């Protein structure tokens, strides 16, 4: 029975996680060209470009959040789908063991991580039969940060800055623009949106996600939808949300719209937002052996080309000479001297902590002294070496807003001076930073390979019982770059960009 099927699936998963497809590289290359290199946006995109090339060359995950694996499979009539699904599950476990996927499947009741990316609902596998005598397998890895920015609208509705969205294609256009604006940098912009017009709440989201299997540069066969796609791309890239929500010209790299019939009483617009780390690939397989016959999205005409020249890659991110060096532990005076927009290079000790650690610290003392410390919102991919030591293979920042209910209290209680994450935080944390003398630094979301190279060593780990992504890792870092986006004086770049882009939304989208 299909002796090569398992190996083909491991290859597909590995390559999807580590090697961005040519159409996404081309779109990111265009985005890079639109931003001046020494702006915040330009620096962020250069780090992303380096990260893409680094991931491919070391076959490491492009982003540490390797997402929810979703397979769309077409099989000849009579193919054994039960067996294939089991082989896919085995391949997912194997790719996780090899560090190509982060253990990402968590029991929703107990919070326990299964450790192998298997569990009820994980991975997602959809089969469809077709008349061809070959198998087609497409895979998308879509992470939590962008998944959390998905949006669904029931028309008619009133939208901030855009007014009423009616049950028309213009109403659809407004909803998509609203979703892009609302996402700001939280989904690691510049991203792409898959959209479904119609369906019900469930089929709408599914069809929206399926649009992400289209190449970013294709043309919608329905001219009415093609026109909306163009209009959204044009307006979205005038919003000045920019890469990571830092401000800039590149906010969206793709808009793909499909439509399903709906009930007369319902009119949903479902938006699936995917980040710049748009990991989607596919293969066709020989129906007798299961061996890979061809790769989708990367055929002979569309070879993967590096984002940067070897010299650009070696040069690192473009420094301006104004970067501020900080070494942990950090004093309150150093923190109060920083202001929004400063680019800092952090060295010394750093501790990771995300959802489970923050909830834990609300009820228990920290396992380490956090006075003057740097707390990194990060769930890394970690591999245990044969000699028992730990190696971090991917370590970009995770979405910080999830820690909003806890962050200010943790700053106050334990003396943390720097919080690093992505997407920014809210008013409660902003007030907490001012009160406690701390800053929030925005890293470049998804730049997991780039940041893994800033980690000189892992010196320890606490709370490993939460699973490797949720544990508190003790790291030594050198020249870890990030931007002050919330300072200790009540200023927030996120708040400013949201307000400015809201005004632009009114102008270009209304």
CB of 213 to ligand SF4, least distance (A): 17
Decide whether 96 or 220 has the Cβ nearer to ligand SF4. Answer: 96
Nearest to 258 by CA among 304, 218, 295: 218
Decide whether 147 or 166 has the Cβ nearer to ligand SF4. Answer: 147
Rounded (5°) CA angle 13-421-373: 125
CA–CA distance, 250 with 28 (Å, rounded to integer): 9
Decide whether 23 or 487 has the Cβ nearer to ligand SF4. Answer: 23
DSSP, res 397: P
Decide whether 228 or 275 has the Cβ nearer to ligand SF4. Answer: 275
For 176, 205, 423, 506, the CA distances from 193, given in Å and listed in that order, are 8, 12, 18, 20
For 63, 106, 116, 186, 421, the CA distances from 485, given in Å and listed in that order, are 22, 31, 36, 13, 10
What are phi and psi for residue 256, nearest 5 degrees?
A: -125, 120
CB 472, CB 463: distance < 8 Å: yes
Decide whether 68 or 88 has the Cβ nearer to ligand SF4. Answer: 68
Cis peptide before 190 (omega within 30 of 0): yes
Residues that bind ligand SF4 (CB under 6 A): 63, 65, 67, 143-146, 187-188, 275, 277, 396, 445-446
CB of 2 to ligand SF4, least distance (A): 31
How distant is the alpha carbon of residue 495 from its chain centre? 21
Residue nearest to ligand SF4 (CB): 143
CB 278, CB 212: distance < 8 Å: yes
Decide whether 145 or 248 has the Cβ nearer to ligand SF4. Answer: 145
CB of 231 to ligand SF4, least distance (A): 25
CA–CA distance, 333 with 180 (Å, rounded to integer): 38
Decide whether 29 or 329 has the Cβ nearer to ligand SF4. Answer: 29
CB of 275 to ligand SF4, least distance (A): 3
CB of 284 to ligand SF4, least distance (A): 27
CB of 273 to ligand SF4, least distance (A): 9
Decide whether 51 or 462 has the Cβ nearer to ligand SF4. Answer: 51
CA–CA distance, 351 with 471 (Å, rounded to integer): 10
Q: Are strands 124-130 and 191-198 parallel, antiparallel or unpaired?
A: unpaired
Nearest to 277 by CA among 60, 496, 11, 499: 60
Q: Are strands 151-154 and 268-274 parallel, antiparallel or unpaired?
A: antiparallel
Decide whether 147 or 217 has the Cβ nearer to ligand SF4. Answer: 147
Using DSSP's 3-state secondary structure scheme, residue 229 falls into helix
CB of 443 to ligand SF4, least distance (A): 10
CB of 132 to ligand SF4, least distance (A): 33
Nearest to 210 by CA among 74, 61, 64: 74
CB of 108 to ligand SF4, least distance (A): 19
């Amino acid at each position: 029975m299909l002796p090569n099927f398992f190996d083909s699936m491991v290859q597909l998963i590995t390559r999807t996680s580590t090697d961005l497809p040519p159409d996404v590289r081309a779109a990111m290359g265009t985005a890079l060209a639109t931003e001046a290199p020494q702006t915040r946006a330009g620096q962020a995109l250069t780090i992303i470009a380096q990260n893409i090339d680094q991931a491919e060359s070391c076959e490491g995950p492009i982003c540490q959040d390797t997402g929810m694996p979703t397979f769309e499979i077409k099989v000849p009539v009579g193919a054994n789908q039960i067996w294939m699904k089991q082989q896919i599950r085995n391949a997912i476990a194997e790719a996780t063991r090899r560090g190509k996927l982060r253990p990402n499947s968590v029991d929703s009741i107990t919070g326990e991580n299964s450790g192998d990316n298997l569990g009820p609902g994980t991975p997602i596998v959809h089969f469809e039969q077709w008349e061809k005598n070959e198998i087609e397998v497409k895979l998308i890895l879509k992470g939590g940060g962008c998944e959390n920015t998905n949006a669904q609208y029931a028309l008619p509705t009133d939208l901030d800055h855009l007014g009423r969205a009616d049950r028309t294609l213009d109403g659809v256009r407004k909803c998509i623009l609203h979703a892009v604006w609302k996402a700001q940098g939280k989904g690691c912009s510049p991203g792409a949106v898959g959209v479904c017009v119609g369906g019900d709440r469930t089929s709408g989201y599914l069809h929206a996600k399926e649009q992400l299997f289209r190449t970013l540069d294709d043309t919608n066969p329905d001219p009415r939808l093609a026109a909306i796609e163009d209009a959204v791309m044009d307006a979205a890239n005038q919003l000045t949300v920019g890469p990571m929500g830092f401000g800039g010209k590149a906010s969206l790299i793709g808009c793909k719209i499909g439509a399903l019939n709906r009930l007369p009483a319902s009119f949903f617009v479902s938006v699936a937002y995917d980040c710049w780390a748009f990991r989607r690939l596919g293969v066709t397989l020989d129906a007798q052996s299961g061996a890979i016959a061809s790769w989708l999205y990367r055929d002979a005409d569309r070879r993967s080309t590096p984002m940067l020249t070897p010299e650009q890659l070696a040069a690192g991110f473009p420094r301006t000479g104004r970067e501020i060096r900080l070494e942990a532990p950090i004093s309150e005076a150093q923190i109060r001297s920083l202001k929004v927009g400063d680019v800092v290079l952090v060295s010394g000790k750093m501790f990771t902590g995300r959802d489970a650690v923050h909830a834990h610290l609300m009820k228990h003392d920290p396992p380490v002294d956090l006075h003057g410390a740097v707390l990194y919102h990060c769930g890394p991919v970690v591999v245990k070496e044969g000699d028992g030591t730990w190696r971090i293979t991917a370590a970009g920042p995770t979405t910080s807003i999830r820690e909003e209910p806890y962050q200010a209290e943790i700053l106050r209680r334990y003396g943390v001076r720097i919080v690093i994450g992505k997407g920014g935080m809210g008013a409660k944390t902003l007030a907490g930073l001012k009160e406690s003398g701390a800053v929030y630094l925005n890293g470049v979301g998804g730049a997991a390979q780039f940041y893994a190279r800033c980690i000189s060593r892992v010196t320890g780990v606490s709370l490993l019982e939460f699973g490797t992504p949720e544990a508190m890792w003790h790291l030594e870092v050198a020249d870890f770059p990030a931007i002050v986006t919330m300072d200790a004086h009540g200023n927030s770049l996120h708040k400013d960009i949201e307000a400015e882009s809201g005004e632009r939304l009114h102008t270009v989208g209304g």
